Structure 1
Amino acid sequence: METTHRVRVGDARDLPLADDSVDLVVTSPPYPMIEMWDDVFAALDPAIGDALDAGDGDRAHDLMLSVLDEAWAEVARVLAPGGIAVVNVGDATRNLGRFRVYDNHARVTDAFESLGFDPLPGVLWRKPTNSAAKFMGSGMVPPNAYVTLEREHLLVFRNGQRREFEPRAERRYEAAYFWEERNRWFSDVWDDLNGEHQTLADPELRERSAAFPLELPYRLVNMYSVYGDTVLDPFWGTGTTSLAAAISGRHSVGVERDDGLADAFDDRIRDAPALSRDFAASRLDDHRTFVGESDDDFEYAADHYDTRVRTKQEQGIRLYEVTDVEPTLDGWEATHEPYEE
């Protein structure tokens, strides 16, 4: 199996992709009203900078969300019917004349609903490392302290009706997950993932990126796509979504305005062979530990691995590893082989 991984330097509001050409979107846009993204938003719409300078947080917030709305319209255009879009976004707190929270997750949900998407149950990603202290405001005395925001939202939307597959489609059943993975991954709170430490050599690139941990898009890619699907990240950043797609046996496309970030990805995708083996080995080890520690019966034997499984749907699970990565004219091609222990 071969997969392709392309990155385009461009604008998420004008995706260089055909209609209905991707199966899954996993992305984390710049968060409105988070100060590190002010210059990015102001460059896209100078009125945002004017509003911030005037201390008009409400107007700045609305204008920032309007910029994102244009990107979501492009997502609606390129996402195939039945495809899933997952948006990682956090709310923001800020003091522009008065202190308040800006509800980014609710406004992004409204935007996708207006485009005809169906919101599905999402995930609260709890990030305890975000805060150096457990209080904001007046410290130890009431009533003017504030709750700290230690979670972000993984918003999940479906473009129309559920996808249909041929009965017992091999690529779908090979891409199944283990029973206990399903229970953990499809929980509505994830509290076992920390933010990603930047490994980029250039400190200026680190300042212009805000990567989520690889495990996060890896889970989402395996939850909402099958082998051979195409995964898009229109706010590509350091390419973590593409890396997750590569080690999961999916194609990927990324769109990124910063050509420096795009160039730096060549080093990251070279790690795909080792990462894919590590992820596959870890999943099998974790599953065997789960089986060994459980008092329940595991009625079925896996077809490709020496382990029992709980359900018939798990029997055909087949993990893949990346055996080679080669540059192409417009990105990279990864070769995948079944993972063998």
Structure 2
Amino acid sequence: MTKHQIITSNSNRLDFIDSGSVNLIVTSPPYPMIEMWDDLFISQDSTIKKDFEEGNGYSSFLKMHALLNETWKECDRVLADHGFICINIGDATRTLGGEFQLYSNHSKIIEFFSSLGYSVMPDILWRKPSNSPNKFMGSGMYPAGAYVTYEHEYILIFRKGGKRTFKGKEKEYRQKSAYFWEERNVWFSDLWEVKGTSQVLNSSTARNRNASFPFEIPYRLVNMYSAENDTVLDPFCGLGTTNLACMAAHRNSIGVEIDEEIAKMARERLNISATELNKIINNRISAHLSFIASLPEEKKEKCYHNELHRFPVKTKQETAIYISTVSNLVYSDDLVTCEYI
């Protein structure tokens, strides 16, 4: 059984979460220097607006990251030793005071977590393919005036302390939570090509305030960096995509969203059926069976056998995998409880 909730709050104060009680944090914060989030930052520090008016972009950039750092400090407090933080962030380009430049959000976040003593793990480039014919910006065909248009974002990964050790029941959960050999080869690549998601929202305010990442991003990260029954936090949860990934992955989840309107939509989005969640789970199993079927006969013969699911797997570490399906969901106030088979 797992529990899932969306809490309306500013994530710079997570007093409702006990210190060291979270195993993994997966989030995509507001991106400093991206216009759609200007008002959010200005609402917390009015001097940012003055910097914009005076064309002082770098000062605005630093103040926005100072606001994010307050949340990162709280994340550090609630994260258990040896836990991971995965942050999806894009860099920004902007013209202020007549000057165009790049604002490197990912490097500021790396700098901050390094200062806290976190281990900086290899990051992932999330490439968001674009079919736009007008990708290239600047002075057209003439040299020395055009600039590269970004089609990627970063997934930064940090670990708090050394490797996590699993004992007793936790060791069993870890073995059940192993990923398939072919998933590992894709998920632990440094380049992910996953199409971005455009959200259809009923409110213009919410539309201007939200840019959720696609389900596949948190679903991979939750499976990669946590085990069954762990607790996952998303301090900038938006429409609750990380929570949904945790429901499908047999993890507990807490989502925090500052905007009550968006938080309400996220809670409605968690009102999902067991059938819908099981489609995600069964698609994962089907993909594995298709992979096994594609192997040449001599490689099939060398496969191991997973007794719980009664299908072949490539490695011995996969023989204890058990991907639970959802049997029932119970909704009460702001809490969703998932029961599994």
**What TM-score bracket applies, with the shorter chain setting the length?**
over 0.9
8 Å contact kept, 2:274–2:328: yes
- Whole-Å Cα distance in 2 between the matches of residues 71 and 267 of structure 1? 25
Counterpart-to-counterpart distance in 2, 1:11 and 1:132: 40
Alignment of 1:253-292 (within 5 A): 253-271=254-272, 273-292=274-293
TM-superposed CA distance for 1:329, in Å, is 4.2
Query: TM-score under structure 1 normalisation?
Result: 0.94
Partner secondary structure for residue 130 of structure 2: helix
The one-letter amino acid of 1:251's match is: N
Q: Is the 2:274–2:326 contact (alpha carbons within 8 Å) kept by the matching residues of 1?
A: yes
Q: Is the CA contact 2:267–2:334 (under 8 Å) kept in the aligned structure 1? A: no
SS at structure 2 position matched to 1:217 = helix
> Structure 2, unaligned stretches of length 5 or more?
none
Tell me by how many angstroms 1:108 deviates: 0.4
Q: 1:332 aligns with which of 312, 332, 336?
A: 336
Counterpart of 1:169 in structure 2: which amino acid? Answer: K
For residues 162 and 133 of structure 1, what CA distance do their matches in structure 2 show? Answer: 45
Once the two structures are TM-superposed, the CA of residue 288 in structure 1 deviates from its matched residue by 1.6
Preserved CA contact (<8 Å) 2:308 2:321: yes
Q: Aligned pair 1:182/2:191, yes or no?
A: no
By how many angstroms is 1:306 displaced? 3.4
In structure 2, what is the equivalent of residue 248 of structure 1? 249
Shift of 1:132: 5.8
CA distance in 2, matches of 1:4, 1:132: 45
Q: Give the partner amino acid of 1:6.
A: Q
1:3 maps to 2
- Mark the CA change 1:130 to 1:69 in structure 2 (over 3 Å): closer, same or farther: farther
Q: Distance in 2 between matches of 1:52 and 1:146?
A: 23
Q: What is the percent sequence identity of the aligned residues? A: 43
How many angstroms does 1:88 deviate by? 0.4
2:206 and 2:261 in contact (8 A); partners too: yes
Runs of 4+ that moved beyond 6 A = none
Separation (CA, whole Å) in 2 of partners of 1:230 and 1:173:
17
Question: Aligned residues, how many?
Answer: 335
- Tell me the equivalent position of 1:36: 36
Question: Could you say what secondary structure the match of 2:113 adopts?
Answer: helix
Q: 1:201 to 1:300 in 2, by over 3 A?
A: same
Alignment correspondent of 1:141: 142
Q: Secondary structure at the match of 1:128?
A: coil
What root-mean-square deviation, in Å, do the aligned CA atoms of Structure 1 and Structure 2 show? 1.6
What SS is found at the alignment partner of 1:82? strand
The answer (yes or no) to whether the contact 1:243–1:272 under 8 Å persists in 2 is no
The 5 Å alignment of 1:120-199 reads: 120-129=121-130, 133-166=134-167, 169-191=171-193, 193-199=194-200
Q: Which amino acid aligns with 1:13?
A: N
Structure 1 CA distance, aligned partners of 2:134 and 2:330?
Answer: 46
- Over 3 Å counting, the alpha-carbon distance change for 1:87 and 1:131 in structure 2 is farther
The letter for the 1-side match of 2:24 is: L
Structure 2 match to 1:321: 325
1:158-204 deviation digits (Å, cap 9, x = unpaired): 0111111027822111111100000100000001x111121333343
The 8 Å contact of residues 238 and 266 in structure 2, kept in 1 or not, is answered as no
Aligned pair in 2 of structure 1 residues 81, 187: CA closer, same or farther (>3 Å)? same
Task: Provide the rounded CA distance (Å) in 1 between the counterparts of 2:149 and 2:250.
Answer: 38
Taking the aligned partners of 2:130 and 2:36, their CA distance within structure 1 comes to 18
1:272 offset after TM fit, Å?
A: 5.0
Q: Deviations over 1:251-274 (max 9, x none)?
A: 011111111111112331122523
| Aligned 8 A contact 1:272 1:322 in 2 | no
Q: Is the 8 A contact 2:198 2:211 kept in 1?
A: no
Scaled by the length of structure 2, the TM-score of the pair is 0.94
Per the TM alignment, residue 283 of structure 1 is displaced from its structure 2 partner at its CA by: 1.5
What's the CA shift string for 1:271-329, capped at 9, x where partnerless? 25233212222112211221122232443111222321111110111112222222234
How far apart in 2 are the matches of 1:210 and 1:25? 18
